[in-house]
Amino acid sequence: MSKLYIVPTPIGNLDDITFRAIKVLKEVDLILAEDTRTSGKLLKHYEVSTHMQSHHMHNEHNMVDTIIKKLKSEISIALISDAGTPAISDPGFLLTRACIENNIEVDCLPGATAFVPALVNSGLPNDKFVFEGFLPIKKGRQTRLKLLAEETRTIIFYESPHKLIKTLTNFCEYFGEERQVSVSRELTKLYEETIRGKAKEVLEHYTNKPPKGEIVIVVGGKK
């Protein structure tokens, strides 16, 4: 039966995958992977021999129609990203929407997503929050920051290590130096850490100790 499975994969620790995810990856006819080399290591670890095909941000627009045709031919496909849940700041939305428009069943499995543990261990209010993902690099960045400065809910961002200082500096400028910030990096990995404090304090910490690894920033809302 044709179906698209959205399958979360570990964000670091290979043990953070569900039994169901492994079962699905073994049983589907095809796996769409953001990077077949990265995913190949995971699949080899769990003895998954299903054929893989690249599906990433640079080719997803061109591949959607082809994948829909494959699904209509009664095959099952699993979509995975390099880490975490597909479509959360990774490819997946376009294909999911196309499946829904073509009455093809979509089944999203629960699993690893970086922002959830970062939010929970931040100590900031998590009953209501806003997920922003990556801020615009240039165009629209200032406008977005001005808008978010008035947000009263907790805000979650993804950031790369070489842009963290710039982003924390922006937070001090637009949100205020006293705004509470929590930075989690290398979640589930050997050198996992979370630094919490006022924006100016967290900025000072990472100015003196340049960060490495994947980063999630959680910012308290305006009081």
Mean pLDDT computed over 59-81: 95
pLDDT tens, position by position, 157-175: 999 999 999 999 999 999 9
- Indicate if 60 and 130 belong to the same structural domain: no
Residue 198 has which token pair?
């006022």
Mean pLDDT computed over 193-218: 97
pLDDT at 167: 98
Residue 75 scores a pLDDT above 90: yes
- Indicate if 85 and 139 belong to the same structural domain: no
pLDDT at 202: 98
Residue 129 scores a pLDDT above 90: yes
Nearest to 20 by CA among 30, 5, 33, 38: 5
- Indicate if 97 and 31 belong to the same structural domain: yes
CA dist 18 and 32 (Å) reads 18
CATH number of the domain within which 120 lies: 3.30.950.10
Query: By percentage, how much of the chain surpasses pLDDT 70?
Result: 100
- Indicate if 100 and 135 belong to the same structural domain: no
Contact criterion met (CB below 8 Å) for 60 and 79: no
- Indicate if 122 and 36 belong to the same structural domain: no
Of the three residues 108, 128, 148, the one that is the final residue of a domain is 108
Could you tell me the residue range of the domain that residue 94 belongs to?
A: 3-108
**Which stretch of DSSP H or E encloses residue 36?**
helix 36-45
The count of other CB atoms within 10 Å of the CB of residue 8 is: 22
- Indicate if 68 and 165 belong to the same structural domain: no
Per the structure, the count of domains in the chain is 2
CATH number of the domain within which 91 lies: 3.40.1010.10
- Indicate if 103 and 120 belong to the same structural domain: no
- Indicate if 91 and 75 belong to the same structural domain: yes
Query: By percentage, how much of the chain surpasses pLDDT 90?
Result: 95
pLDDT at 195: 98
- Indicate if 58 and 93 belong to the same structural domain: yes
DSSP 8-class letter at 121: T
Contact criterion met (CB below 8 Å) for 114 and 217: no
- Indicate if 120 and 103 belong to the same structural domain: no
Mean pLDDT computed over 101-112: 97
Contact criterion met (CB below 8 Å) for 86 and 79: yes
pLDDT at 213: 92
* Strand arrangement, sheet containing 215-219: 129-133, 154-159, 215-219, 180-185, 193-198
Which residues touch 123 (CB under 8 Å, ≥6 apart)? 182, 196
Of the three residues 75, 108, 141, the one that is the final residue of a domain is 108
Mean pLDDT computed over 81-93: 94
Residue 174 has which token pair?
């637009």
Residue 1 scores a pLDDT above 80: no
Of the three residues 108, 136, 156, the one that is the final residue of a domain is 108
pLDDT at 57: 87
Mean pLDDT computed over 190-213: 96
- Indicate if 120 and 211 belong to the same structural domain: yes
Nearest to 77 by CA among 150, 39, 25, 21: 25
Contact criterion met (CB below 8 Å) for 179 and 219: yes
- Indicate if 89 and 122 belong to the same structural domain: no
pLDDT tens, position by position, 3-56: 999 999 999 999 999 999 999 999 999 999 999 999 999 999 999 999 999 999
Burial (0-12, 13-18, 19+ Cβ within 10 Å), 168: buried
